[in-house]
Structure 1
């Protein structure tokens, strides 16, 4: 215990403000918000220190146990393990909160409504990594941890202490530590803010009690600086909820100090942890979503702020600096969408400077050329927001794409070895069995392409159109998940604090739908288990012939080798309208080398970049020859 107290003390020193990153923020990633505010404050002559309570708790309870708590899969969101571990510390509830049966059963955690989104078949039940006795042991550690942190912080001089709340899983820990600080006699303002303080949650936190004196809503650069300027001044008071001011120009933001972050990780978790587990750095290029400014995806809960971005020149300069200091790190853009013309504007910088591998969220690219360009700018990873291959579902989700493009994009990423992460959604309001049944035929043919991270139930999140415009989507009797009442005191304003909601709706929730989803769940599990060994690869054999290596669920993963000529190869790999009766298309369809989506033939064969470029060139020459021949008529 004494050694741990010394570890906490080693992270602290007097400053104008102490910003705390509370558990359960993931210890593998930098929290950009507090580091950005610290850099801004430094420019204005204020001192801000950052206390990584997420890392400290990981060191205290064990890194692997901490990481398992953070690994909350969408199909088990209802368990709220992170919140339960601090329920006693924050609100005096029983250890792990009230009604612990809801840890095991989704129906007990979500709703008692009939015909709603909590149906048994759509959730995974039972604890994933722990049993209840193990959770109780972790809860006892969290309870003691709060006291240790408060005792240490109370010994230092700050004008304000703040909690950076990026996610729902950090609320209870923040309230617990704030409350314990007040018990220790800390009289300075205790504040909170961060990405989670949006869509009215900030009002819920204010109504919850007086553990938090002030809550910053939305973007807080200007409001935080004004708070610092007036802090301690006579006759100055602040409202409980401090509203966001005008948007801060992103090109004026100083870059976060990644070297300081590295030093914090090494100090708390060790140099080996930084080398082995900190593979990625978050970096911000923009805020908002230009697609959302046009039409917001129906399940999207991002804040409603107008899209704006840094200049690509600034992005390239800062990424070059990061690469020079951390040559092995991949940079992930912490944005909701990629800047519209980013690829074209960024490409020239990649030719003349040393820039890192990057990853980002990206709208689906409709053609192969766009993916060539992504590869050219050193793209390592993409979160493409595929969601489904059903165009009717995509239309109701307002994704602005079609199933054929989603599948073609997934295939093209595989060809160019760009990693991706995507979820397969189901149980969407108004869905039909037909909008999922096609997957039973499709999935066995695409097990060589990247599998979804999870097959996940559609969630109604605060701030999303499904929440804000529930009646428009046929949703009635919207109410918070029942589990929230297990996490907060009886008199808490749960309606203002909840992030996820249930609703009644009319859908095809019948035996056929349940059987279909059950089959798809099994296929996705097989896909995950066997993806590494699956392949449908096209390789050059001779100048005029190619070989197809095929080992997919479609053929029970039994390797097959087929030789084809250039004519067949061009037809098998051509993304084009389906032409019934076309010899080569029909042959490819019969062998599962392609599928029909939205009346288009979508190729599934993957090939390395040189082969793809060769085929594109041959295809272009064929079109030119055909056009020349037609000109004579």
Structure 2
């Protein structure tokens, strides 16, 4: 009886099977030596991605071609460029159990990955590509993605990325054929993001959502909560500002985190989850005592941590409202040719339909805040422009702009919310949650109110 091997062990095991010899030297292999069970010492060596052959989907293609329901199937090609997580090597997100004991990041050379994608597309005539990498190799912005962008293929790729990408990097992803990304946003509150050890701020995550709209990238994310140490106050400001974000891509929902094996939360009970038991769902699959089940499962149930009660209910409701109001919402920035005036056309669900007109340092401030700035950094930039406001004037404008939903304030910095064009969406006109028809166009109506 043979048990599973992994990595380099499988080819070595197959060699022994072919030769009829005992696999005593295959690392990590559990096997029967006659009536005796043996377990070889596991190797710490990881598989170099360059050693992983290109996937062979020929048998799958034959099965698809022969299927009577082939016309109803929309197949995608699955490829892998990297394993592990370069961020997790330095700062393992506290809730994440991905990668287990093989966190070390390793990736195929970008030109090698492109050769694989190009060959698979030509062979199978499929343009939908799903990468299974936990995080994109940043080197791919210099090799793989430019090759994809310069090709003749109208690719539709999925990639998991970190949420701190620049606008230029997101633009390259879009130009290379990435239509769907999963950036691991997780939260818009700085306190929760710090507890996760995500290494980003709420404003930076907002900036990512805005740039996804600017470059027609579909962005999938969930709002996570339930971190030990978070408080109701940590969520109050974010929940209050969520209606202003309705034109940006919403989370799939707000969800309490679960305890995952291999995560820092699991490995270190001092982080706040000392009580744990196998998740209830496993009892429907395995008829085992709890202590044995605890050695097998990935997810664990724990007493709730962090927020609950009214704050939890408000967060979930705000996420739902954002989701339902998004299809009919836009907040679009326009700068007339030869004019320093900025126009912001507000067509967000739940907000008055109006156009904001910004001139002088107000317009300059909105542009500076596209990159996200602290108040002091913004004031220095406006001073360098030559016509700075007083501190009191700047404070008053920042407060007014947040109230009008033109800026997001994460408590440390501000970031502007308008996009530069009407985003491409699958439905041109959507039914608003209140039952009215919501237009996807950001063109202002004639005679509409202008607000300074």
**TM-score (normalised: structure 1):** 0.56
Deviations 1:13-39 (A, max 9, x none): xxxxxxxxxxxxxxxxxxxxxxxxxxx
Q: Does 1:304 align with 2:118?
A: no
Deviations 1:189-243 (A, max 9, x none): 5xxxxxxxxxxxxxxxxxxxxxxx5133xxx242111221122654636624675
Aligned runs of 1:352-501 on 2, under 5 Å?
A: 352-355=150-153, 356-365=155-164, 367-471=166-270, 473-491=271-289, 493-501=292-300
Distance 1:353 1:486 in 2: 49
Distance 1:568 1:326 in 2: 54
User: Is the 8 Å Cα contact of residues 343 and 355 (structure 2) preserved in structure 1?
Assistant: yes
User: Is the 8 Å Cα contact of residues 219 and 249 (structure 2) preserved in structure 1?
Assistant: yes
* Pairwise CA distance, 1:284: 0.3
Tell me the residue number matched to 2:344. 548
User: Is the 8 Å Cα contact of residues 330 and 348 (structure 2) preserved in structure 1?
Assistant: yes
Structure 1 pair 527/351, CA: closer, same or farther in 2 (3 Å)?
A: closer
Q: State the secondary structure of the residue aligned to 1:476.
A: coil
Q: State the secondary structure of the residue aligned to 1:496.
A: coil
Distance 1:387 1:289 in 2: 17
* Pairwise CA distance, 1:463: 1.0
Distance 1:413 1:236 in 2: 55
Distance 1:269 1:395 in 2: 52
User: Is the 8 Å Cα contact of residues 476 and 504 (structure 1) preserved in structure 2?
Assistant: no
Q: Does 1:288 align with 2:84?
A: yes
Tell me the residue number matched to 1:89. none
Structure 1 pair 540/326, CA: closer, same or farther in 2 (3 Å)?
A: farther
Distance 1:562 1:334 in 2: 43
Tell me the residue number matched to 2:402. 589
Superposition RMSD on alpha carbons, in Å? 2.8
Structure 1 pair 340/263, CA: closer, same or farther in 2 (3 Å)?
A: same
- Which moved further from structure 2: 480-489 or 429-438? 480-489
User: Is the 8 Å Cα contact of residues 332 and 346 (structure 2) preserved in structure 1?
Assistant: yes
* Pairwise CA distance, 1:563: 4.2
* Counterpart among 321, 324, 328 of residue 533 in structure 1: 328
Tell me the residue number matched to 1:236. 22
Tell me the residue number matched to 1:147. none
Structure 1 pair 350/326, CA: closer, same or farther in 2 (3 Å)?
A: same
Distance 1:312 1:257 in 2: 19
Distance 1:265 1:441 in 2: 50
Distance 1:348 1:520 in 2: 40
Distance 2:312 2:10 in 1: 48
User: Is the 8 Å Cα contact of residues 365 and 405 (structure 1) preserved in structure 2?
Assistant: yes
Q: Does 1:215 align with 2:4?
A: yes
Distance 1:561 1:326 in 2: 49
Distance 1:282 1:541 in 2: 44
Distance 1:325 1:563 in 2: 53
* Pairwise CA distance, 1:282: 2.0
Aligned runs of 1:15-94 on 2, under 5 Å?
A: none
User: Is the 8 Å Cα contact of residues 323 and 354 (structure 1) preserved in structure 2?
Assistant: no
Tell me the residue number matched to 2:59. 260
Q: Does 1:572 align with 2:369?
A: no
Give ranges in structure 1 of 5+ residues lacking alignment: 1-188, 190-212, 610-633
Structure 1 pair 299/266, CA: closer, same or farther in 2 (3 Å)?
A: farther
User: Is the 8 Å Cα contact of residues 223 and 244 (structure 1) preserved in structure 2?
Assistant: no
Deviations 1:448-487 (A, max 9, x none): 100112211111011111111122x132232222443343
User: Is the 8 Å Cα contact of residues 571 and 585 (structure 1) preserved in structure 2?
Assistant: no
Tell me the residue number matched to 1:316. 114
* Pairwise CA distance, 1:442: 1.6
Structure 1 pair 264/287, CA: closer, same or farther in 2 (3 Å)?
A: same
Q: State the secondary structure of the residue aligned to 2:46.
A: coil
Q: State the secondary structure of the residue aligned to 1:215.
A: coil
Distance 2:8 2:137 in 1: 24
* Pairwise CA distance, 1:570: 3.6
* Pairwise CA distance, 1:261: 2.5
Structure 1 pair 566/532, CA: closer, same or farther in 2 (3 Å)?
A: farther
Q: State the secondary structure of the residue aligned to 1:231.
A: helix
Tell me the residue number matched to 1:560. 354
**TM-score (normalised: structure 2):** 0.77
User: Is the 8 Å Cα contact of residues 299 and 397 (structure 1) preserved in structure 2?
Assistant: yes
* Pairwise CA distance, 1:422: 0.7
Distance 2:225 2:149 in 1: 42
* Pairwise CA distance, 1:502: 2.7
Deviations 1:315-334 (A, max 9, x none): 12222223334555232221
User: Is the 8 Å Cα contact of residues 312 and 346 (structure 1) preserved in structure 2?
Assistant: yes
Distance 1:311 1:290 in 2: 15
Tell me the residue number matched to 1:167. none
Structure 1 pair 283/269, CA: closer, same or farther in 2 (3 Å)?
A: farther
Structure 1 pair 503/234, CA: closer, same or farther in 2 (3 Å)?
A: same
User: Is the 8 Å Cα contact of residues 227 and 306 (structure 2) preserved in structure 1?
Assistant: no
* Pairwise CA distance, 1:362: 1.0
Distance 1:373 1:235 in 2: 52
